[in-house]
């Protein structure tokens, strides 16, 4: 009975994929809509791994574009529109969610979700003509999908050591801490180079922040 239950699921491309919603609509004048959530459900008795592809990966940021879903659980996939410009109004893009078993490389199922950017939620898009619908359907059917770049590789530049500005600012803070405090009498340093306690505290605070930045690079 178990083999009969799992046999159709092992056929490539035949496994139903459950995603909500099936359409993403972003509004240029509503910044809260620039972040959308896709929910992927796994009603099966085995774990699934997933991958998110897109026809226009440069326009979107997908948090966790690959991952896994436990049996009878769901996972939220955050999608942000990062290129909100008028030239993209009304353009239809597509996301494809491919799922497979943990031990399999072939895609057992896939689901496509359309995404579009509109100027405003208060402006209803004009009713498309039948020939426009046919052209859009054909364009979407012929679309080529690309893998999404992992989020942390986009938001964090490659480590290449601290910048010159960071090093110079750190040296300035160190010199400031070495200068005499305002009020010290026995010092050969000119009076205009004497710093108050508050200025030295600021320099110490900035130096601490720079040290954390340098250690992370």
pLDDT mean values, one per 10 residues, the chain (217 residues): 46 82 93 92 91 91 90 93 91 92 83 92 63 52 56 42 79 84 76 80 82 72
pLDDT at 217: 59
Residues in the chain: 217
Q: List b or e across 117-131, with b for residues whose CB sees 16 or more CB atoms inside 10 angstroms.
A: bbeeeeeeeeeeeee
pLDDT at 145: 55
Look at residues 41, 39, 37 and name the one whose alpha carbon lies nearest to residue 16.
41
Residue 97 contacts residue 42 (beta carbons within 8 Å): no
Distance of CA 61 to the CA centre of its chain: 4
| Rounded Cα–Cα distance for residues 193 and 181 (Å) | 9
Residues 6+ apart with CB under 8 A from 11: 108
pLDDT at 19: 93
Residue 107 contacts residue 100 (beta carbons within 8 Å): yes
| Helical axes 164-178 vs 197-216, angle rounded to 10° | 150
pLDDT at 104: 77
pLDDT at 38: 92
pLDDT at 156: 39
**pTM attached to this predicted model:** 0.56
């Amino acid at each position: 009975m178990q083999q009969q239950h799992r046999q159709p699921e092992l056929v490539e491309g035949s496994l139903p994929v459950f995603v909500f919603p099936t359409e993403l609509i972003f509004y240029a004048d509503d910044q809260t809509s620039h972040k959308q959530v896709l929910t992927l459900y796994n009603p099966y008795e085995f774990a699934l791994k997933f991958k998110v592809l897109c026809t226009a990966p440069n326009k979107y940021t997908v948090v966790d574009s690959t991952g896994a879903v436990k049996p009878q659980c769901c996972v939220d996939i955050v999608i942000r529109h990062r290129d909100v410009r008028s030239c993209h109004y009304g353009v239809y893009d597509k996301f494809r969610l491919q799922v497979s078993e943990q031990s399999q490389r072939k895609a057992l199922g896939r689901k496509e979700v359309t995404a579009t950017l509109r100027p405003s939620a208060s402006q209803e898009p004009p009713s498309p003509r039948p020939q426009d619908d046919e052209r859009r359907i054909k364009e979407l059917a012929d679309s080529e999908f690309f893998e999404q770049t992992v989020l942390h590789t986009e938001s964090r530049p490659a480590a290449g050591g601290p910048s010159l500005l960071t090093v110079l600012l750190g040296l300035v803070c160190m010199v400031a801490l070495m200068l005499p405090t305002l009020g010290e009498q026995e010092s050969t340093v000119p009076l205009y180079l004497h710093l108050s306690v508050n200025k030295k505290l600021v320099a110490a605070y900035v130096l601490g922040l720079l040290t954390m930045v340098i250690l992370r690079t």
